Amino acid sequence: MVGIVGIYRTRIAASPYSSLRRMSDAMEHRGKQRLTLSGTDLHERFALDIRSPVTQDFYAKHKGRQTLVVCGWNVRQDIIDRLLGTQVPLTDNDGASRTQGLSDALILRTNESGLLLSRFGHSTSPIYYQSWEEGLAFSTERKALWRIGLSKPIELEPGQTLHVDAHQPQPTIRTQERTYPGVNKSRSKEELLASLRSRLRDCFNCLHSAENVGVLFSGGVDSSLAALLAKYVCRNVTLFTACGKGSHDEEFVCEAAQALEMELKVVPFDKDRVWGVLPELIYAIETTRQMDVEIALPLFVAACAARASGDRILISGQGPDELFAGYARHARLFAEMGEDALDEELRSEIQETHRVNIGRDERAIGYNGLSAFFPYLNSQFVSEALEVPSRWKISPSGIPERKVIFRELAIKMGLPETLASGPKKATQYSSGSQKILSKAVSEKVKIQRDIVSLKPDRIVQLVLDKIGIELGMPIPSMPNAELSIDLDTAHEFAQKIGETSRRQ
Cα-trace Rg, the chain: 23
**Gap between the Cα atoms of 89 and 70, Å rounded:** 12
d(CA 50, CA 31) in angstroms, rounded, equals 9
Same domain, 162 and 259: no
Last residue of a domain, one of 433, 449, 465: 433
The residues pairing with 106 across neighbouring beta strands, listed in sequence order, are: 71, 119
Q: Is residue 470 situated within a structural domain?
A: no
- CB neighbourhood size of 96 (10 A): 10
- pLDDT score for 431: 82
Find out whether 243 and 431 touch, Cβ atoms under 8 Å.
Answer: yes
- Backbone phi, psi, residue 184, to 5°: -105, 100
Q: Which domain holds residue 380?
A: 189-433
What does pLDDT average to in each consecutive run of 10 residues of the chain (504 residues)?
A: 84 74 92 74 74 70 73 69 56 42 73 81 86 88 95 89 78 73 90 96 89 95 97 96 83 92 95 95 96 95 96 95 95 96 93 85 94 91 95 91 96 96 73 90 71 74 91 76 78 80 46
User: Does residue 181 sit within a domain?
Assistant: no
Per the CB < 8 A criterion, the answer to whether 411 and 346 are in contact is: no
Pairwise CA distance, residues 367 & 370, whole Å? 7
Q: CA dist 211 to 16, 234, 332, Å?
A: 38, 6, 43
Q: What whole-number distance in Å separates Cα of residue 494 and Cα of residue 474?
A: 14
Structural domains counted in the chain = 2
Closest-CA residue to 59 (of 50, 47, 70):
70
> Which of these three, 403, 433, 463, is where a domain ends?
433
Q: What is the pTM of this model?
A: 0.89
Is the backbone peptide bond immediately before 400 cis, with ω within 30 degrees of 0? yes
124 burial via Cβ count (<10 Å: 0-12, 13-18, 19+):
buried
How far is the C-alpha of 167 from the C-alpha of 43, rounded, in Å?
A: 11
Give domain status of residue 460, yes or no: no
CA dihedral over 142, 440, 370, 17, signed as positive or negative: positive
Residue 120, pLDDT score: 80
pLDDT recorded at residue 477:
66
Could you tell me if 170 and 201 lie in one domain?
Answer: no
User: Nearest-5° angle of CA 492, CA 497, CA 503?
Assistant: 125
- 362 & 296 share domain: yes
CB 349 within 8 A of CB 288: no
Residue 47, pLDDT score? 84
Give 146-214 as a DSSP string: HTTT----EE--TTEEEEEETTSSS-EEEE-----PPP--SS-HHHHHHHHHHHHHHHHHTTTT-EEEE
The DSSP call for residue 113 is: T
C-alpha span between 388 and 212 (Å, rounded): 34
Query: Is the residue at 104 inside a domain?
Result: yes
Pair 114, 164: CB distance under 8 Å: yes
**Is the Cα torsion angle 205, 103, 293, 311 positive or negative in sign?**
positive
Can you tell me the distance from the alpha carbon of 462 to that of 15, in angstroms, rounded to the nearest whole number? 40
* Structural domain includes residue 289: yes
Could you give the CA distance from residue 491 to residue 504 in angstroms, rounded to a whole number?
Answer: 22
Among 384, 410, 433, the domain boundary falls at 433
**Which CATH number covers residue 397?**
3.40.50.620
Strand partners, 63: 66
Q: Of 424, 421, 300, which Cα lies nearest the Cα of 368?
A: 300
Residue 94 falls inside a structural domain? yes
106 plus 204 within the same structural domain: no
251 and 157, same domain (yes or no): no
